Structure 1
């Protein structure tokens, strides 16, 4: 029961006690007053009737006697009058069957008034003429008592309603700071830190509100400190301090994660020997400043063409990772890279297109980090040998289809729901039970079974993401995969679905009509959060409102603040696979621990991904992780019914 209702109930009980006490006192006083009034009335009637009857009794006139008694009997509340003549013992009795009108019978049956009888001897001088006995009728008492009680009930009812109204309004105003305090406490429990509460006028609540404001500010500072710690550790361990670009360690881990996911793109290795000339002519300070300006220009110019990761992996070597791009876009990217670099070369007083080489290796099929680094390095060396600015690594593997072929085949597959599924269990660390299953899709085209890594880049490129996600969700629901196991099924959403308002409307309708929305999970890549936070907030609100869950995939991959977690409040986060490949050392362990602390501080489950062996899992044993995922528990085929 809420505090408002408790106080309200207490005031209600106190009011009833007061009313009951007043009613009891009023009732007893009224009953006593009416009894005395009836007794006084019967005394007066007995005395008056006795005086009037003396002449008739002396004369022995029965008719006159009866007339006088009838006049009195019919004019008052008398139940019975008995006149006994003492001369001859003759007795006359008058009885009144008066019914009490306007008073319920149950009230009369309470017997609130006892019969009152008055005896009187009528005398004439010393001579006793007759004995007169009058019994009062209680109807007068009941009638008056019922009238008074009815009026009291009406008055008290009106006062009660007025008191309830004033109590409700008054308590609402008095307890308003407590309600605000309760809402503020709930937000703090959810790690949502808003502005401070205004200080109320109530003395007892002032200190409490100030304490809550102080606690909220301190907790907010704690999470801000954790966020700053993550940023500081990233900058310390994964960022080159001269160029402010990611370093070699980050790039290698990022390539590992990139190759383990369905994607496309290319890796470029860049050798900039002209920077060595700048160093020899102007010193290391000018060289470092030139590197910083070059990094800024590369980010500014190249990000407009395609999102990429640019890293400084050695003194005069850079690496560029371009994800999910086709050959035409890679060509444009390469041209912009050469043009931007030549501008900086000219500013430094060196000759363009000299002592500057690029090796490009495209991702085709299944590749390892060693494979793609070797191909990119081979292309770089070939570029240096041929004295050319760039060289593409010649790969004998060809694309399966052209861009238009992909559009036709993917559209047909989506419309005909030709996808097949596998799912991979996410295992809990405490008891090794399955906490959820992540869904993967495959596509059969021309007797070739294609995994997501082969067709998903073209899905994103051709803006078919929303259609694909809708198709997959409908197919999963059609085959009752959500009901097949008790564990939730996690479905990865594409970038297009997250920003598509029509998909938001459809997803809301689907979840509202679904029988078990609690078994549906959606995973949103962290890159989408940084690129379109508003759309992420909208779709996350829909998912949460409909009873489903969602998580953040690739958590910790992007360089940025973690404050978005407070706005989105996901059920879980999946650490980026790159953390499973980072070499074990103290600095990396500190970074991973800081990321986990940020999420756990917001009461968010943390799942580590990319776990291939027990040795990898053992490195995370000291962290407060909840579950793990990887080929240590490989994906399982799903047979559709």
Structure 2
């Protein structure tokens, strides 16, 4: 119960006690006054009547005496008038039944009135001629008392209404600073750091507001320190200090994690800067460092349009670029652009010759290893050196189950698959980091069934679908197919679906999705729409608006590959996803003896938990990894150790 309500109730109770006491005192005083009046009135009546009838009693004119008594009695103010002779014999007796009109009987019983009576002697000359007894009637007294109670109650009720209104308005004004403190505390719980300005004038409230402001500033500093610590760990462990891009460790973990996911396609480009040692000898180390920085910046700009690119300085003058899900046709575009920019850089005379660097490109399809890709790229690099200054060479690498390339073939295959709704769904459980290890949610993966019965993973067809403007149609079909399944039958209340930011740029898709979500039945599962961290940072405002729209329908968003991007972690405060998934590259390093990986994961968890964001670990493949992650305070885990993705239809009720 709020303080405002408590104060209102306290005020009402206090007023009721005051009103009850005043009302009772007023009632008692009025009753005493009326009783005294009745006693005075009845005594005066008895005395005056005795004096009036005395002459007629002396003349023994009983008829006149009776007439005078009747005249007085008929006025209705008396319950009884009796005339008795000196021997006590009743000569005249008039009695009126007690009947109180216009007054509730419960009131008559609740408030008894003493009915006074009085006697007076009737004289016959010097002798006593009898006695007059007059007893008052309480009816008029009750009526007067009832009317007084009614007017008093109405008056107090009016005062109560006015007082409650005044107290309510007054308390709202007085407690306004507390409402500001409440808003500030709520904002702090959401990771928003609001300060009260101006401060309240009331001394006590001012002290509370100042304390809240100090706490808010402190919590903001703590969050900043946590984020800076995590970013510092990432920078020391995975950054090249000279060029500011990733180092060899970052390259190997990221590329290894991508290649470990199975079949796919992509490019690995190896760039080698020439004559670096001679440049350092002739012009100094600073000249060599400047050349490396310029080459790193050139490569960054060349791959800036590829959201999933991995760029690192491997060693000395060697740089590695990894572009997953891209074909050899794109390799020519990227390599040609880089070679052209190297030619322009050569004209700045930063190197000892015009041949600044050569490129070796390995384009792969199917399942391959990083060591093989590096070997193939190194062979291509050797061939590129014979082509002249800043030349490049491409080698195609076919892995196991390699798939044919060709954009037109892909387009025809995708369009036909969509027309025939050959989109199938696999699911993998996300396991809660508890002793019971229950299913927290199911993540769904889209696959396209080919005509020969084989299935294509999303990693193969989604990049091409985005270029062909088909990805929103695929995302729509995935959502429709997913929600046809009865998740309640397997005890799952939450599912995760990956959608592309490209789909959110489609106004028709956004309109359809919002209407579709609003029309879901009450028993439908809670949906978390997942985006990669890089996509979230690049499309922050668009995804934030999307998150607000789906949350209004009871759903949420999640971030995939958390920590893969070198972005500042402050963006989490504005996006506020329901959870983040730590990239499998960091999970895979936990058992390699690299303690800083564990520290980095723990720091990421601390940053996320400080603003009420859950943390999930990807790529858990062993009990040892699960045990280490459990100690790092993660909320859930996902990986082959808990089960590989399998067809959604294979999940049955327990």
**TM-score scaled by structure 2?**
0.90
| 2:557 alignment counterpart | 550
Residue 551 of structure 1 deviates from its aligned partner by: 2.2
| 1:373 alignment counterpart | 374
Are residues 516 and 379 of structure 1, via their aligned partners in 2, closer, same or farther at CA, if it must alter by over 3 Å? farther
Alpha-carbon separation, structure 1, partners of 2:637 and 2:88: 120
Residue 606 (structure 2) pairs with residue 597 (structure 1)? yes
Residue 444 (structure 2) pairs with residue 439 (structure 1)? yes
Residue 203 (structure 2) pairs with residue 199 (structure 1)? no
| 2:410 alignment counterpart | 406
Secondary structure of the structure 1 residue equivalent to 2:201 = coil
Residue 504 of structure 1 deviates from its aligned partner by: 4.1
Asked whether the 8 Å contact 2:116–2:136 carries over to 1, the reply is: yes
Alpha-carbon separation, structure 2, partners of 1:511 and 1:627: 26
Residue 40 (structure 2) pairs with residue 34 (structure 1)? no
Deviations 1:243-266 (A, max 9, x none): 212111111112123324586431
Residue 544 of structure 1 deviates from its aligned partner by: 3.3
Aligned with residue 572 of structure 1, among 576, 579, 583: 579
1:72-87 aligned at under 5 Å gives the runs: 72-86=72-86
1:192-231 aligned at under 5 Å gives the runs: 192-196=192-196, 198-231=198-231
Asked whether the 8 Å contact 1:610–1:629 carries over to 2, the reply is: yes
| 1:479 alignment counterpart | 485
| 2:644 alignment counterpart | 634
Secondary structure of the structure 2 residue equivalent to 1:250 = helix
Alpha-carbon separation, structure 2, partners of 1:195 and 1:298: 43
Alpha-carbon separation, structure 1, partners of 2:349 and 2:195: 50
Alpha-carbon separation, structure 2, partners of 1:115 and 1:143: 14
Residue 592 of structure 1 deviates from its aligned partner by: 2.6
Asked whether the 8 Å contact 2:347–2:354 carries over to 1, the reply is: no
1:116-131 aligned at under 5 Å gives the runs: 116-131=116-131
Deviations 1:308-358 (A, max 9, x none): 333221211111223444444443322221121111111026588635311
Alpha-carbon separation, structure 1, partners of 2:32 and 2:88: 40
Deviations 1:359-390 (A, max 9, x none): 11123122222232222222112222454711
Secondary structure of the structure 1 residue equivalent to 2:428 = strand
Secondary structure of the structure 2 residue equivalent to 1:265 = strand
More off after superposition, 301-310 vs 24-33: 301-310
Once superposed, what is the RMSD of the aligned Cα atoms?
2.7
Alpha-carbon separation, structure 1, partners of 2:631 and 2:325: 35
Residue 323 (structure 2) pairs with residue 317 (structure 1)? no
Secondary structure of the structure 2 residue equivalent to 1:313 = strand
Secondary structure of the structure 2 residue equivalent to 1:630 = coil
Residue 24 of structure 1 deviates from its aligned partner by: 0.9
More off after superposition, 297-306 vs 386-395: 297-306
Are residues 604 and 90 of structure 1, via their aligned partners in 2, closer, same or farther at CA, if it must alter by over 3 Å? closer
Alpha-carbon separation, structure 2, partners of 1:575 and 1:566: 17
| 2:340 alignment counterpart | 339
More off after superposition, 499-508 vs 537-546: 499-508
| 1:244 alignment counterpart | 244
Secondary structure of the structure 1 residue equivalent to 2:121 = strand
Q: How many residues align?
A: 641
Alpha-carbon separation, structure 2, partners of 1:286 and 1:366: 41
Asked whether the 8 Å contact 2:331–2:361 carries over to 1, the reply is: no
Alpha-carbon separation, structure 1, partners of 2:487 and 2:448: 18
Asked whether the 8 Å contact 1:269–1:377 carries over to 2, the reply is: yes
Residue 287 (structure 2) pairs with residue 286 (structure 1)? yes
Asked whether the 8 Å contact 2:307–2:534 carries over to 1, the reply is: no
Asked whether the 8 Å contact 1:271–1:358 carries over to 2, the reply is: yes
Residue 546 of structure 1 deviates from its aligned partner by: 3.1
Alpha-carbon separation, structure 1, partners of 2:597 and 2:431: 24
Alpha-carbon separation, structure 2, partners of 1:100 and 1:415: 92
Aligned with residue 424 of structure 1, among 414, 428, 449: 428
| 1:308 alignment counterpart | 309
Are residues 223 and 623 of structure 1, via their aligned partners in 2, closer, same or farther at CA, if it must alter by over 3 Å? same
| 1:394 alignment counterpart | 396
Asked whether the 8 Å contact 1:256–1:581 carries over to 2, the reply is: no
More off after superposition, 611-620 vs 164-173: 611-620
Asked whether the 8 Å contact 1:504–1:542 carries over to 2, the reply is: no
Alpha-carbon separation, structure 2, partners of 1:330 and 1:315: 24
